[in-house]
Amino acid sequence: MRKSWLIAIIPGALLFGAAALVLVLLLVKALWAWTVPDLFPGAVEQGLVASSISWFTALKVAIFAAVLAAFGGSCHRHERKG
């Protein structure tokens, strides 16, 4: 019984993980295209900053944000309370 339960759960978890990854990358791409040209219009016009990013670049930005969030969370965890 336990083995059949794992066979049913593993593909569902992989599908959920893949869908979450695509959703995060889509969110990063959309937020970049929405905010960066408004924040840096001169730099976008001169070609110094990209107005849109690729899927791979969105993945790198998402990983960078996750690492920063992990470090930020670990700093709060080690603070002394009292």
Per-residue pLDDT tens digits for 34-49 = 999 999 999 999 999 9
Mean pLDDT of all residues in the chain? 88
Categorize the per-residue pLDDT at 67 as very low, low, confident or very high, splitting at 50, 70 and 90. very high
Q: What is the mean pLDDT of residues 18-44?
A: 95
Comparing CA positions, the residue from 76, 77, 53 lying closest to residue 64 is 53
Is residue 37 within 8 A of residue 44, CB to CB? The reply is yes
Instruction: Look at the pTM and tell me if it is higher than 0.85.
Output: no
**And the tokens for 48?**
């110094």
What was the pLDDT predicted at 57? 95
